[in-house]
Structure 1
């Protein structure tokens, strides 16, 4: 098919000693590939654009304004030749040949021009406002929306103008500048990638020679089939991806829970056989064959499974509602009726075979003469042996879930509560939106606002600067050149701060001094890791040394104690605090300790904000909540594991209850004799319960290494993690034993207090 021949070029580079990938490529690359590389049907660049707002004129004379519209990109006819859009108005050749034109998707056209025919939308003007320019375009074409799900989610297309790029553009890579290739039938993707990579290296070398720049970092290209793009979570490009390991993990959980349910059905079915012996005997007496009895039971099982399948549809809707906070945006419930019925039918048949065959065979083996003598069912030990094996298997799965839940919860708590090297308590963050920070009308407004905020009594301290720990970061390659030695080059994280920053976050200055409040003085305060990275013997030795890039080296004036820059998946990196007023766009506000004042203080902050910035630009967050958001995937995982644990325990207990019922039935005579001989109720309960404790302990022995291995693999992703302690497995086992004893205790007590005369008479 056509999509099998479509590939993406993505960029790879080494950062901080690790391989990283970016979904974009250098913009000029597509032109050179078109000219130099053979075997390609279409070279389709897609350069996404950010706009502050969109203004659409309409017949009412009052324009419609849309803020922060997404899905806007520059593309040319190659994109539409590659992607099978249906043109509702216009065509690829003519609609994109007009420099001031714009092509809209059906849904975006309806958003901009509601209640208007598509043909009447042509030549309507749309104005795009960006931070550095304003462009007015006219509608030249409309395409039908692509069926979801799709890789291609753009909704507005501006014509991509051919132009000559500067050499320095070859060193820039932006995740929003994507490049798709549709290969010819006999083309080798690996060779095409090598040719494209050679072009990139050649142009980068030319730039380095021309600019006399010694800056180097390892960079390459990868060619990725389109079908893999949705699962390429290792690529940074700011779009929602699906994780294959997570998907398979969820499928594995679903399969295990279904398997538990099947085992449980087997156990409950076997436990119900004593109550059905008379029915079985009558059917056999009236000429019922083994095949008929087996078929009847299998039909019963299939009907049960089929009903359960349709009930699950209702529960899935409930599940989507209950899990709405952890289900990623854009995921919709499965609603294809025909496919769902087919799926339920297949699953029902599989469950019928898996869960129904053995109990059906047991029922068919019951002998008529034994039934009417109320004899026991078949060989007791064999039946019970299988049931015990199934119970052990159920509790192995349940114990793996319990142990995993304990370990994940413990690591998550550690990640959120450990000492991060700074004090984040009662800190509120207020960002100046990027579009205002680069708007001349609002230049430097943060500084008079800062002075106003300092007058609010509910604020203990306030600073402008990047938050200490965050998902986003900026870094540069800095070097330290000691006389007579090779320069030491290291990638350094940059954070822009003012002079109040260290005090607000209680950061410890080990040696030297804080940054000076100056517009012209450039200097660094670095962390301990940067001291080691540049080869200084001690923090004291680093003071006064110059680091930076060629022609822009500045002195180190202080060293702070290490703190965490990113989440606990990452080691602490070399970091430098710098002072640059143009980069100070986040207010770090430490509130007073009295939480009852916080709401009034935030209202006061908001009131002051409106004096300098538009009302819609105000948004705040507590820093500890922002840090929690950095572990949103782990919190979602913990929620799913906890739910799976609860379900697996519930199912396992049902199976255990079934086994307890059958055991009590088959040991009725023994219990009666023991009671006649003077056995106490407590003694009989212990007798009936101790074998279940043995089963749980056996399950714990099997489950522990499995849980340890799975959790150890998960914990390996964390640079800072807790070790798996032995007591976690003991605690999991104790929890399982207590739950099991509560489950079987009712049946054991019921059997222990029953009248021994009755039980012996039935025998």
Structure 2
């Protein structure tokens, strides 16, 4: 019996070649799309699950309130917090802290016996307990005591290979830093940086007891300020994290009430986040130690995958039910011969499952071939090994079965319910719903397509808006060159003079932060006579004279810095004046006060600049004051040239002539700003690709449906043409019903798309307004695509010889 079913299915598939090709092609495209999305999404899960006792490891996060408002939110905490929690609560078994030095300074690192030095990102300073909390696979050394001594570090396997080649790195010496801050460190371990996935992604880790930032963190005991230390606790196996969370408000009051008052903070809250939730569920938390994913983005991709696969299933359902009359006699004969409804349903479901599983098999090699494009589009690194994993195989098999079942269940139900008497009397099977269900499915396909077209347009508009919006400074033709060492910082004036001699260099200045870098430094300030306990948090940025000219930031009042100025003179933005309710004309006679403990300092405003976007457009421009910095991290070069290759060569030669053994590490600011919106750019590109695929699948289904309709009406068309009907009238007859369905889809898709697009745009403080023409364009595009798809087959039927059609029985 099974063999007979297979024969019947095979013959039916061969007999209806066009329908089979359309179904297989549609299901294959849908499955490849789903598989690509599943590979990406699956790669974003499983972070930090490899740690021993991962369920008991939590990061301590901070929320600071000022005047009843959320003033500061960060993924870090103040230095003493982690170990104070261990002291106060027996349920905290272990604690550790991490400082990401990239935020504050960039140190050179080199092998002691080599002249090649490198700026390496992701430099951690960590407590000796780091490897008691987190699990790493060591290739050299012993993680139990790797960070116990000062002036020691552990290297990632990638960096160890870069510094020492194939030689053993254990107990070798490296030079860290430069000038007066140079230190010789000993390698106490090498860990495999390809092992597992973690939100912690160090290139190398320096012992916290090493002189410098580490010893500062160890000695700092204020519970209110300097919330830049990533703090982790590991709880005992029987501890309840929620119960500990409820005790934290009392803890911070007991430990830091006086510190909070001195810092002008109304309240400070601490929150525990499980380490395995950080990568997916903390995208809204600023100051992450490393890039994290966004669960909302992943949900969007999964939803996209589901809808594309549904669109492919709709094609199968439509074509199968539309061609029910073609199998009417087969069904009638088999029922008369004793076939039961359940038997016929199994037969038809078997056919759809066979097609779906066949499409699934084809999708595997196709996806492997497309992996380079997927990696480039999604910004990930996936290989064929990811596809061959048992988890992906299980998901793919499940996808094939579910797709086959969803595609086949309705046609199987309809076909198996055909009455044998009607089937044997006539080839025409009258459906009670007059094709309403099939029309609804066509509408569904185009609702998805139109909504995706509108989404792509708005995402592209928002991304272009971020690139074209006036940021308040000129990012074009602007280079940022990493200074990085005291030697280079001390020679800034010489470097500046030398660079200005190069043709194409207009201005040179410096600063602590490059444009697009997150400014973490801030001060609590208040006006003379004000209350220090109710100060206002103001971002701080150190710069050199000429900074505003280099970045083309207008000075509205006052003046730029001069060589004679000190740290007590500051320049503020308009947002600062607004925060303190200072009139612009009164700004130059205003002073701002900073207090910390018993120390109070007064700063005089010497200038006011226009607000400029020193952070992402997702955030409102914050109050900012700028002071004169003697040890900057970045050098900024305003250029005007058509030959950047020669300009960069000249700059590098000048740099190496003045600053030896320091890499010439530069970047174009406009590209760095663009990277701030990488997620939006990637979202737009992904949406565009899958929109095209969804439209392609929908067009396949339309092509199959109109082919069937034209075949069913070929005698009618022949008679109309013999009676004098024009080609145009015949085409209109065949296309008008489909165009009506698209208009219905436009009406349904517009409010749905508007709702979800509006919610997405709410993440941006500065955003575009959704225009009516977006939906008109999306609907018009769908109409044009439909007309071209349907019109082509309609025209082919309309110009056919009517005599030939009337002769055919």
Could you say which residue in structure 2 is the equivalent of 1:569?
618
DSSP-derived class of the 1:578 partner: strand
Greater Cα offset, 659-668 or 283-292: 283-292
| Alpha-carbon displacement from aligned partner over 1:265-313 (angstroms, at most 9, x marks no partner) | 2223345556666776787788766555543332232222112223323
Could you say which residue in structure 1 is the equivalent of 2:793?
747
Q: 1:173-188 residue pairs with structure 2 within 5 A?
A: 173=226, 175-185=228-238, 187-188=239-240
Q: 1:104-503 residue pairs with structure 2 within 5 A?
A: 124-127=171-174, 129-130=176-177, 132=181, 134-137=183-186, 139=188, 148-150=196-198, 166=219, 168-173=221-226, 175-185=228-238, 187-206=239-258, 213=262, 215-216=264-265, 218-231=267-280, 232-235=282-285, 236-271=287-322, 291-329=342-380, 334-364=386-416, 375-379=426-430, 382=433, 384-425=435-476, 427-434=477-484, 436=485, 439=486, 441-465=487-511, 469-482=515-528, 489-503=535-549
Could you say which residue in structure 1 is the equivalent of 2:16?
none
1:702 pairs with 2:753: no
| Alpha-carbon displacement from aligned partner over 1:18-49 (angstroms, at most 9, x marks no partner) | 45443333333344333331233444555667
Greater Cα offset, 239-248 or 480-489: 480-489
Of 591, 594, 600, which aligns to 1:546?
Answer: 591
Distance of aligned partners of 1:222 and 1:669 in 2 relative to their CA distance in 1, 3 Å threshold = same
Structure-2 separation of matches of 1:65 and 1:622: 22
Greater Cα offset, 508-517 or 486-495: 486-495
1:555 pairs with 2:604: yes
Could you say which residue in structure 1 is the equivalent of 2:25?
none
Consecutive unaligned residues in structure 2, runs of 5 or more: 1-51
Could you say which residue in structure 1 is the equivalent of 2:698?
652
Structure-1 separation of matches of 2:85 and 2:390: 46
Could you say which residue in structure 1 is the equivalent of 2:773?
727
Structure-1 separation of matches of 2:610 and 2:203: 48
Of 598, 616, 628, which aligns to 1:579?
Answer: 628
Contact 1:32 1:199 in 2 (8 A): no
Distance of aligned partners of 1:376 and 1:754 in 2 relative to their CA distance in 1, 3 Å threshold = farther
| Alpha-carbon displacement from aligned partner over 1:1-21 (angstroms, at most 9, x marks no partner) | 943333332222248954544
Structure-1 separation of matches of 2:587 and 2:198: 53
| Alpha-carbon displacement from aligned partner over 1:455-486 (angstroms, at most 9, x marks no partner) | 22322333334678524214433534255899
DSSP-derived class of the 2:606 partner: strand
Structure-1 separation of matches of 2:254 and 2:490: 42
Q: CA RMSD in A?
A: 3.8
Contact 2:153 2:187 in 1 (8 A): yes
DSSP-derived class of the 2:435 partner: helix
Distance of aligned partners of 1:167 and 1:565 in 2 relative to their CA distance in 1, 3 Å threshold = closer
Aligned length: 740
Distance of aligned partners of 1:207 and 1:521 in 2 relative to their CA distance in 1, 3 Å threshold = closer
Distance of aligned partners of 1:81 and 1:535 in 2 relative to their CA distance in 1, 3 Å threshold = closer
Please report how far the alpha carbon of residue 249 of structure 1 lies from its aligned counterpart in structure 2 after TM superposition.
1.0
Please report how far the alpha carbon of residue 347 of structure 1 lies from its aligned counterpart in structure 2 after TM superposition.
1.6
1:28 pairs with 2:80: yes
Greater Cα offset, 651-660 or 517-526: 517-526
Structure-2 separation of matches of 1:64 and 1:560: 42
| Alpha-carbon displacement from aligned partner over 1:500-554 (angstroms, at most 9, x marks no partner) | 3333444333333333332537423323222222112x31122221124244323
Greater Cα offset, 657-666 or 513-522: 513-522
Contact 1:462 1:590 in 2 (8 A): no
What TM-score comes out, normalization by structure 2 length?
0.81
Please report how far the alpha carbon of residue 404 of structure 1 lies from its aligned counterpart in structure 2 after TM superposition.
0.6
Contact 2:209 2:218 in 1 (8 A): no
Please report how far the alpha carbon of residue 713 of structure 1 lies from its aligned counterpart in structure 2 after TM superposition.
0.4
Contact 2:138 2:190 in 1 (8 A): yes
1:676 pairs with 2:719: no
Consecutive unaligned residues in structure 1, runs of 5 or more: none
DSSP-derived class of the 2:536 partner: strand
DSSP-derived class of the 2:471 partner: coil
DSSP-derived class of the 2:708 partner: helix
| Alpha-carbon displacement from aligned partner over 1:118-163 (angstroms, at most 9, x marks no partner) | xxx7973444524535244364x78888952345656877776699
Could you say which residue in structure 2 is the equivalent of 1:509?
555
Contact 2:101 2:124 in 1 (8 A): yes
Structure-1 separation of matches of 2:151 and 2:536: 45
Contact 2:524 2:536 in 1 (8 A): yes
DSSP-derived class of the 2:64 partner: strand
Could you say which residue in structure 1 is the equivalent of 2:43?
none
DSSP-derived class of the 1:457 partner: coil
Distance of aligned partners of 1:145 and 1:681 in 2 relative to their CA distance in 1, 3 Å threshold = closer
Structure-2 separation of matches of 1:294 and 1:396: 30
Distance of aligned partners of 1:88 and 1:681 in 2 relative to their CA distance in 1, 3 Å threshold = closer
Greater Cα offset, 413-422 or 61-70: 61-70
DSSP-derived class of the 2:308 partner: helix
Structure-1 separation of matches of 2:399 and 2:427: 34
Distance of aligned partners of 1:397 and 1:408 in 2 relative to their CA distance in 1, 3 Å threshold = same
Contact 1:469 1:567 in 2 (8 A): no
Please report how far the alpha carbon of residue 639 of structure 1 lies from its aligned counterpart in structure 2 after TM superposition.
0.3
Distance of aligned partners of 1:106 and 1:630 in 2 relative to their CA distance in 1, 3 Å threshold = closer
1:713 pairs with 2:766: no
DSSP-derived class of the 1:552 partner: strand
Structure-2 separation of matches of 1:729 and 1:707: 9
Distance of aligned partners of 1:368 and 1:761 in 2 relative to their CA distance in 1, 3 Å threshold = farther
What TM-score comes out, normalization by structure 1 length?
0.85
Greater Cα offset, 624-633 or 12-21: 12-21
Contact 1:306 1:348 in 2 (8 A): yes
Of 670, 686, 690, which aligns to 2:732?
Answer: 686
Could you say which residue in structure 2 is the equivalent of 1:756?
802
| Alpha-carbon displacement from aligned partner over 1:695-750 (angstroms, at most 9, x marks no partner) | 00100000000000000001111112221111111111111000000001111112
Of 65, 77, 89, which aligns to 1:37?
Answer: 89
Please report how far the alpha carbon of residue 571 of structure 1 lies from its aligned counterpart in structure 2 after TM superposition.
1.7
Please report how far the alpha carbon of residue 452 of structure 1 lies from its aligned counterpart in structure 2 after TM superposition.
1.4
